[in-house]
Chain A
Amino acid sequence: MSSRKQGDIQPEDGGTGFKRIKITKSSEDPEKKGLSRRLKDAEISLPIVYGTIAFYLGRKASESQSHKWTVYVRGATNEDLGAVIKRVVFQLHPSFNNPTRVVEAPPFELTECGWGEFEIAISLVFHPDVCDKQLDLYHHLKLYPEDESGPQSTKKPVVVESYDEIVFPDSSESFYARVQNHPAVIVPRMSAGFNISASVPPENSNERERGDTKDHPLSQWFLNFSEADELLKLAAARQQVQAHIIKLRRQLSVMDGMPQLSKPASAYE
């Protein structure tokens, strides 16, 4: 059984039947900890991008290892996520050696070789003051491009990324104070009298620099997620729909007026 190596897996297998987002329950009561004094309506969100980049190995490809791929969780603007996320657990296909891979520090990524596509479960564990629950993401590893015209290039990888935002609806004061000025995090504007930032010093800036993915070797393949484009598209669509609604309302009101007025039928059109 020499051929059965770490990448030797069944393709298209794995937790496809899983619910996409699973929130794990914690038996621990967060309220007993002093640091989790909650801020009402202080919704802190962390824009992230997770996904995979897969390179075809070309001539170096063997039967069991045709692709080299990297799975990662990065900040949407390539900022360091270490201030919020404590560790990331990648659950690979059981045919891999040690399929549960834990990445304790940013950047949260993992590179492997294999030949099969499967669903990777990514569990995010947060710092204790952020949230005691972990958050599970699911990403389908993609090795082969959609259009199967011609041989696969070794230069151009297959990139699949998803943008999402981790939302902490009622964040603790200490968390809020810690990430208030963090570039990776979106914090709400607090009312004027509210100020707790002074008590907590900002994080070590050097440490933060290390975890970002701005100069990542793969950064040229990172996809661009433009909120503005999306908003523009939505605004255009809404405008179209609203115009249609107005038109229909007018037509309806015309029709409503008709029977009572007993106008000739030609006025219908």
Chain B
Amino acid sequence: MDAKDILGLPKNQLPIPQEKKSRPPKEPQRKPDGISREVYALTGGLAPLMPSIDVSQLKRRPPSDEKITWQWLPFTNSARKDDLQLFHWVRVVNGVPPTGDYAFAKYNKSVDIIKYTDEEYEKYLTDPTWTKEDTDQLFDLCERFDLRFVVIADRFPSSRTVEELKDRYYSVSRALLSARAPPGDIASHPLVKEPYNMSQEVERKRALSMVLSQTKQQERKDAEVVAEAKRITESRMAAKGPEESESPVAANVGPENSQRAAVTGDAVTPSNATLPSAIAASSTLMADNASTLASLRMLRVYLRTYALDQMVQAASASAGLRTIKRVEQTLQELGVNLKPKVPTKAVCAEHLELRKEILTLLNLQKQLQYKEAEGTSFHESPYSETPGTPKRMPRGDQDRPFMPDPLSFGGDRFGKRDQKRKAPARTSEAAQSPSQSKRPRKMKASDI
């Protein structure tokens, strides 16, 4: 019986972990190389945060008869069309330099751009917004820059947005594909299966730029609203729970009531026993008041201020500590004493009413704030896409920083997921702000 049995692990595991297991107890006692004895003593034998074992030891291979040298040798790159010869350092084993193609040549991928003939263009590809010259140029650039549309848009002589260029390119390719092949064959082709949706892309980028351009304050506000909404739903759930569980057992003394009875120090009399049902039936302030009054009555004598305290407590039992504080703050702002100076019956009643009204007011304020936040986030919502509403044709103004569009709020949120699913790989490209895309980009890997 060992630890493996307890953990239910198989006994015949790989030998490597066992080796590792046996090694650690030995390791710390030996002073690792490269650390002076004094420094090692300072660690007190504790496991250091950084690995103290010499890394090269772990990588050390069994000594072989290979003789390795590094040599400065010429090479050719199959990815290049010219036969430019360059030199580099190569690892030479036993005097034999590596054979085969240049290791990085395989990364030179190029896209197969569909070519069309003049005839095909006349037949399938005419578009009122595009001339043949423009289309030709687009396809040239597409080939030259491997569909890097941001670069293409930058080089394109007439001002077209990235979306417009993409739309043209993909629609032309799609039209050619379907014209050339029998319909059944190309149904699964990605160009046909998931056609480029320009309006969706425009909207997606607008939303994305809005999220990215959100200020910290707005983010905080949104987070607050979400937290508040969560709190409200939780409190609603909590309120719902006891109500449901209490109503069937009306005869039982509710927790509220028993607590109150404990406060007054009196036993629950038969006349009071019917109260919990009233509370359970309707947890309104009225019921609360009634039970408070009943427990007060059992005292046979009490002070008006005490009664008021109890009533205030009962009335604000459902409210949180913060809300109660805010009620008192509001009272002070209104110039009303937190505790009436002349607590007559009428004054106390008025005072209670005032407190209740302030509670109502605060609730309304909260609602309004929530609604406003909901409204604005709805309004500014990055995902407030409106698939149903007719889109104005995006023109050359698409490269300006996207602004919240007052005409397009109130869309359903399902569009968001839909969209994400359709265009999962384009996020990185859209993350570049339009102004950045204007800058000529340095070509790196693609130029090799």
Task: Give A residues with C-beta under 8 Å from B.
Answer: 20-21, 23, 25, 30, 45, 47, 126, 130-133, 135, 137, 163-170, 186, 225-227, 229-231, 233-235, 237-238, 240-242, 244-245, 248-249, 251-252, 255-256, 258-259, 262, 264-266, 268
Partner of A265, one of B296, B350, B406: B406
Give the distance in Å from the alpha carbon of A262 to the alpha carbon of B297 in the complex.
Answer: 56
11 residue pairs from A and B, CB less than 8 Å apart: A21-B303, A169-B297, A169-B302, A225-B341, A227-B344, A230-B342, A230-B347, A234-B351, A241-B357, A251-B368, A255-B372
Overall SS of chain B's interface: helix
- The answer to whether residues A238 and B357 also contact, given A167-B307, A268-B375 and a CB cut-off of 8 A, is yes
A254 CB → nearest B CB, Å: 10
Residues of B within 8 A of A241 (CB): 330, 334, 354, 357-358, 361
Find B340's partner among A137, A168, A230, A256 (CB 8 Å cutoff): A230
B196 CB within 8 Å of chain A: no
For A168, give its contact among B300, B347, B365 (CB under 8 Å). Answer: B300
Q: Could you tell me if A264 and B406 are in contact, using CB atoms closer than 8 angstroms?
A: yes
A132: shortest Cβ distance to chain B, in Å? Answer: 8
Q: Is the CB of A135 within 8 A of B361?
A: no
Asked if A235 and B350 make an inter-chain contact with CB atoms under 8 angstroms apart, the answer reads yes
Residues on A with C-beta less than 8 A from B347 are 227, 230-231, 234
* CB neighbours of B350 from chain A (8 A): 231, 234-235, 238
A226 touches B306 (CB 8 A): no
Interfacial residues, chain B to chain A (CB-CB below 8 A): 264-266, 293, 296-297, 299-307, 330-331, 334-336, 340-347, 350-351, 353-354, 357-358, 360-361, 364-365, 367-368, 371-372, 375, 378-379, 406-407, 409-410
Q: Which of B304, B336, B368 interacts with A255 by CB under 8 Å? A: B368
Bound: A259/B377 CA distance, A: 13
Assuming A164-B303, A251-B368, what are 16 further A-B pairs, CB within 8 angstroms?
Answer: A21-B305, A30-B300, A45-B304, A130-B301, A135-B302, A164-B343, A167-B296, A169-B301, A233-B335, A234-B347, A241-B334, A241-B354, A244-B361, A258-B375, A265-B379, A268-B375
On chain B, the residues within 8 Å of A165 by CB distance are 303-304, 343-345
Q: Is the CB–CB distance between B334 and A47 below 8 Å? A: no
Residues of A within 8 A of B357 (CB): 238, 241-242, 245
CB–CB B301/A166 < 8 A: yes
Given contacts A234-B350, A248-B364, contact A133 B301 (CB under 8 A): yes
| Inter-subunit contact A25/B351 (CB<8 Å) | no
Contact B336 A237 (CB under 8 A): yes
Q: Which 9 A-B pairs have the closest CB atoms?
A: A165-B304, A248-B364, A237-B334, A234-B350, A169-B297, A265-B406, A131-B301, A21-B306, A225-B342
